[in-house]
Structure 1
Amino acid sequence: MLALAFLSGCDRPVPGEDAEARGVLALEGGLIFTSAMADPIEDGVIVILDGVIEAVGPRGQVRIPPAARRVPISGLSVVPGLWNADVGLPDQLLEMADTATDEELTEALEERFTRHGFTTIVETSQGAGALTSLIERIDRGGVAGPRIIALGSSLPAGIERARGGAGPAELAAAGSEGLGAEAVAARAADLADRGIGLIPAITRAGYPEAGATPEEADRRRESALEEVLVFHMLGGDLVFGTGSGYVPQYDPSTEYILLDDIGVSPEGVFAALTWIPAVRFGHDYTGLIEPGMVADLVVIEGDPLADPSAFSLVRWVLKEGVTVFNLLGR
């Protein structure tokens, strides 16, 4: 077990903090998925005050303050902000934190993360000190980017420990090499029994490494898929992560399709993207849509509990009530 450095890119917003920038915002008319397990709220309303969810419920049951900026989202769905718990930020992006303009850095982060709905990422390749400039520029507000949690060490198939505000989060990455089907299933069962979260990282597991054949990469991916499925069937906590940055692929849509194809339930994918990582990393003021939670929200097309690929259809992203990506033009 390895004790890792832990650095969060943001604390819980304080009511009244940066109120001029955040103000009062009301999202009206959408299908609101407050959590992976609750029934969605039809024709729902979310009221956000100073970056925190003030109220949520059906239209007509939620009071909208007169001063609120009201944004219609009929025909769209709202889910909590998404997590990617296995990211390796490239050196080029870290160098941009010291040299790029706010606009250039925002575009780089949008291309990799916020356009895909990620309001929180877990960086597993760099020490906390290497991320300081990037985190500070995001926190100052000039750069729109995700919340960054730094572990300071990669997540191999072995177990790693991160320490957050609510206690340790023990994690393992899928994709053990050199194990047969029985050994993979046994490892998945052992992790689930010990309460260790599993990061699928299927894209990373199946990416051809230097010197590896396509057949070897396919075997690693199939091994990861088998381990994820057994782990999920045994009730283990999946913690969504793709390995973006370790491999040159940031779009998570293939990962959603693969998880759905092997039989991970839509509720399981939803929870792995939201509440489970929030709790395991000690950020349990995110991951749900309810009063008192930070307003990390993603507006998407479609119903993610009917088809998890809807998580790919991102139209608007709020982090702490502030827009970090917007295709709606509202």
Structure 2
Amino acid sequence: MSDSHVTLTLDEVYDLSCRVLEHNGMSNAHARAIANVITQGQRDECQSHGVYRLLICVHTLRNGKLDPKAEPTIKHVSSGIVAVDAHYANSLLSFETGLPLLVAKARENGIAAMAINNCFHFSALWPEVEAIASEGLVGIAMTPSHSWVAPAGGKKPVFGTNPIAFSWPRPNANPFVFDFATSAIARGDIELHARQNKPIPADWALNQSGNPTTDAQAALKGAMQTFGGHKGSALAAMIELLSGALIGDLTSAQSLAFDAGAGATPCHGELILAFDPKVFLGDAYATSLQQAEALFESITEQGARLPSQRRYDARERSVLHGVKVPKALFQDILQLLE
């Protein structure tokens, strides 16, 4: 322990997360599923998706409409579609429950989809698509959130942060993965800046008057901006449609209305797609994977970095040396056990 940080092993992060969640009413099954992803986030030095999320989880448990013990139920919609109803619990146990069926359907049909409905989605999407890639499949995941983000050219929130993630399995390397919000930055990063009284870049958000702001607190009261202007705005709209309207679940505006001022984790749906390259390619499977590797090499050989490489580098450090958690945050988390 230093003056500013506490060092924890990954096992200690997982154990702490389970204890906090179960102490605050989460079932063991849900606590383990969430703790696993929190540990992955902290391990990969994604600070806004690691143990910080325990504060948000407990706030939602105490103030939201989340059911901490609901068991997911599965519906076989068709040969290529599975739907999992979370019954207003967190999404991760539903994902774990439906993943084997998604994989089986993808291997049978070449492509399959899983809709998770009525869930409080948890954190980043890269754990989902990495799990799909570990099965040798290509994965895509997307979800809305709360309407915190203004459309390009607008001043009032319409969209959620609306992340989208993609994974490509690699035979002898970590999968190619990207996971990003269609907003200029993740909501959690603005929350962390506000918590630390740090300014934010002016292109992240607007204040309540619709003007760019560097004040994180003003940003949380105003509207976030999309990345890439109209391009990010169009992608955000696509995600509202595919993971909201298409699967019969809430849009970001409806999710915020459902929250009714509780300030809890957004409740909505999630759409996950899996593709089996062996079915698509047949005898050309090995050749096509080599084409993909040639593409990745053409990127890295000129000094460019593949997405998620920083996470993978952090992962190696964390396995060897543990993770550092700001002492003030650690103390706040321990108070959740009181």
TM-score (norm 2): 0.24
